[in-house]
Amino acid sequence: MDFKLQLVVLPVSDVDRAKAFYADKAGFHVDVDHQAGEDFRVVQLTPPGSACSITIGKGVTAAAPGSIQGLHLVVTDIEAARAELVGRGVEVGEFFHFGAGGQTPGLEPERRDYGSYCAFEDPDGNSWLVQEVKAPVR
């Protein structure tokens, strides 16, 4: 039996600001923007090529805005992905990897899968890691 992760709820303080960030800067597709009254709004967005979406909104979670940390976006070319995000106006940190001494600046020297990262945050501080994986293990 397959158990597929389809949706992650992200707590945000301003739905319109978050929607603009994810759609316009991060390049996510807007799947749904539905409001039912003053106290409920759900916006679902999907990263390009992903089977999993995010939901932001009003009345969808009691979690504190910015409390989701370490979500991963997996890409086959981290240099191109970072350049695209920066070109769209996202403030993305420099590349890093994990060596014997912990987090180390720069790309993983051998460019092994699951080894190179960069990071960014949405306007509320929810954090994302971009991770390079050319051939995922399944």
Model pTM? 0.93
Q: What is the pLDDT of residues 13-54, one digit of tens each?
A: 999 999 999 999 999 999 999 999 999 999 999 999 999 999
- Mention every residue, 6+ apart, whose C-beta is less than 8 A from residue 3: none
Tens-place pLDDT, residues 46-96: 999 999 999 999 999 999 999 999 999 999 999 999 999 999 999 999 999
C-alpha neighbours within 13 Å on the C-beta side of residue 65: 13
